[in-house]
Structure 1
Amino acid sequence: MLILPIHGTDLHSSNVVLGMMRIERLRDDEIRHLVAVARDAGVNTFDHADIYGSQRHACEQRFGDAISLSPSERESVVIQSKVGIRHGFYDFSKAHIVRSVEESLLALRTEYLDLLLLHRPDTLMEPDEVAEAFDELQASGRVRNFGVSNHTPGQIEVLRRSVRQPLAVNQVQLSLVHAPLIASGLSANIAHLDASIDRGSGILDHARLSRMTLQAWSPFQSGFDSGVFLGDREHFGPLNDEIDDLAEAYRVPPAAIAVAWITRHPSNMQVVLGTTNPERVADAAAGSEIPLTREEWYRLFTAAGHALP
């Protein structure tokens, strides 16, 4: 498993991250087994959010109930959570950020978060108020590092004008099929291609210039809240053929190739898995260090239906 230094922090995080958004209905022993398989595969980073589960902090509570970490074990893992989404609205107020972090810590049964992300942009955000929340949380030791999720470069820079801490991470949707943040750059200046429309406001280039780590969520989805492309030969036959050929060549499961396509990018992205199936975690983690060639990477890109002018 490749371990990445996260710029602006002292964190060293696996480039495959285990997302915990679906663990609410698992038994304690099932959660422990899922985490153990991930750890055996080299995963040291676990992704949470205050809204995951049927009620606020439900999945964090299940993790805290099931996983007991000694002080040394706690220092060996990276626990991150997200804040800002409420029922029907977004909220980056200082009161909500601080209160939600306190509730996350209680649920997770930990004294600190390694990383706190602002979940989705709040257009009513007051950057100075966010800065006050970050300062209080960092000074008290409750949060060690900060980042964002689903933010544009402009939104990040508005925050950076006020906050003192580095914004180290931006978690964004990315998969072989859902790849506008990559496809728009490759189709730039080609008017007749829909992909040339930059729907991400230059997220990829901004991340590389500012040395932010991109975390890719839904790495096997074909779009927002849509189906998985792996194994879907009706809609993604050529892509699955290409994935299967490379999986055979590298002697790994197909999921590993879908992960490798993301981790191969020189911006050093992380892949956030959402599965609760231990076998799928192990399969995906096998893609952490696969050295896809340029030709293989671009073959996958075009097989997924993206234009290469």
Structure 2
Amino acid sequence: MAPHHLDRIQLSPDLQLSRLVYGMWRIGDDADTSPKHVQAKIEACLAQGITTMDQADIYGGYTAEAILGAALKTSPSLRDKIEIVTKCGIVAPAGRHSAARVKHYDTSAAHITASVEASLRDMATDYIDLLLIHRPDPLMDPDETGPALDALVVSGKVRTVGVSNFRPWDFSLLQSSMEAELVTNQIEISLLAAEVFTNGDLAYLQERNIAPMAWSPLARGGIFKPEHQPLMAVLERVAAEQGVDASAVALAWLLHHPANILPIIGTNNIARIATSADATKVTIDRQTWFELYTAATGKQVP
């Protein structure tokens, strides 16, 4: 079957990501983590035109990257068909960091370099397409963290770098000590996490022509809970009008924004992966966008 045509977003001169991204945060929670089953998920993504896989060293208690790596070892040709995003900088008392006394952040050069080496080994690859610093670190020394990221890009082990959950000032601070450009900020954006549309986070990225990645674009399923029935009513009405399900409308709401938001979908259900690209078929006009925004916030705009 020919892959579904999906727009691609140019993050840097030599890196494009698919407009929808497959998130592997919960891949270790699936009852079946076999290479064959993981490969089936990736193939379902590719059939939708979703080529970008989102990982982090900490996912699954430091196990998720190796689950992906087992699939890539079994089917090495898959590596050339996908882009791998991963993250580092969180140290939790689990897996390889089980000796840690307290969950903390580490953006030292030594930790970032060691994390990348572990990620490369676990994912059975010799390069990472996009490496993100997972969380702002109160102890970050930009003059150490920035050059460490630059060195990884120069080495070829990492093609591009970015951040996750950074506020504009954190982003600006790190960028000030770097040669390489930070190409994205992965932040929480959904109908139930819409503060970024007014608090300056998105505006900062738009001003710099930096496309944001959106984690939990369905608010971890929260938009479907009974307390958000007014929002669900609008989502379901638009979905019925356009022949898709409500989740496709919620994703389309993000896709409609001019910031070129890249939503990260996180389902383990292959049937749901297979309909992910329905979001790109939904038409959202300005009034429908604001109707959803109003239903989500519970009040009309001023």
Is TM-score (shorter-chain normalized) higher than 0.5? yes
Deviations 1:15-40 (A, max 9, x none): 11001111124222221111111111
Corresponding position: 1:65 with 2:70: yes
Residue matched to 2:280: 288
- After superposing the two structures, state which structure 1 stretch, 274-283 or 156-165, moved more: 274-283
- Which whole-Å CA distance do the structure 2 matches of 1:95 and 1:250 have between them? 51
CA displacement at 1:205 relative to structure 2? 0.5
Q: Which amino acid aligns with 2:44?
A: V
Residue matched to 2:53: 46
Identical-pair percentage: 36
CA displacement at 1:120 relative to structure 2? 0.1
Residue matched to 1:21: 25
Aligned match of 2:146 in 131, 153, 169?
Answer: 131
Residue matched to 2:217: 219
Corresponding position: 1:98 with 2:91: no
Q: Which amino acid aligns with 2:66?
A: Q
- Which whole-Å CA distance do the structure 1 matches of 2:290 and 2:14 have between them? 34
Residue matched to 1:205: 203
Aligned match of 1:10 in 1, 11, 14?
Answer: 14
Tell me the SS of whatever aligns to 1:116: strand
- CA spacing shift, 1:306–1:154, aligned 2, 3 Å: farther
- CA spacing shift, 1:7–1:30, aligned 2, 3 Å: closer
Q: Which amino acid aligns with 1:132?
A: P
CA displacement at 1:43 relative to structure 2? 0.2
Tell me the SS of whatever aligns to 1:169: strand
Deviations 1:227-272 (A, max 9, x none): 623432x211111111111111111121110110011101100001
- Which whole-Å CA distance do the structure 1 matches of 2:298 and 2:201 have between them? 18
Aligned match of 2:269 in 277, 283, 292?
Answer: 277
Q: Which amino acid aligns with 2:272?
A: R
- Which whole-Å CA distance do the structure 2 matches of 1:280 and 1:254 have between them? 12
Aligned match of 2:239 in 244, 247, 258?
Answer: 247
Flag the structure with higher helix content: 2
Corresponding position: 1:304 with 2:286: no
- CA spacing shift, 1:259–1:141, aligned 2, 3 Å: same
Gaps of 5+ in 1: 186-197, 222-226
How large is the Cα RMSD of the aligned pairs?
A: 1.6
- Which whole-Å CA distance do the structure 2 matches of 1:40 and 1:7 have between them? 22
CA contact (8 A) 2:48 2:276 kept: no
- Which whole-Å CA distance do the structure 1 matches of 2:44 and 2:214 have between them? 21
CA displacement at 1:66 relative to structure 2? 1.5
- After superposing the two structures, state which structure 1 stretch, 279-288 or 129-138, moved more: 279-288
CA displacement at 1:70 relative to structure 2? 4.3
Q: Which amino acid aligns with 1:47?
A: D
CA displacement at 1:151 relative to structure 2? 0.2
Relative to the length of structure 1, the TM-score reads 0.87
CA displacement at 1:9 relative to structure 2? 3.6
Deviations 1:101-156 (A, max 9, x none): 01000110111001000000011111111122122211221001000000011111
- Which whole-Å CA distance do the structure 1 matches of 2:72 and 2:278 have between them? 24
CA displacement at 1:283 relative to structure 2? 3.2
Aligned match of 1:83 in 84, 88, 92?
Answer: 88
Residue matched to 1:195: none
Residue matched to 1:188: none
Q: Which amino acid aligns with 1:259?
A: L
Q: Which amino acid aligns with 2:217?
A: P
Corresponding position: 1:145 with 2:145: no
Aligned match of 2:40 in 33, 39, 43?
Answer: 33
Residue matched to 2:252: 260
Deviations 1:45-91 (A, max 9, x none): 0000010113x2x10000010234546x5333211100100121101
- After superposing the two structures, state which structure 1 stretch, 85-94 or 62-71, moved more: 62-71
CA displacement at 1:289 relative to structure 2? 4.5
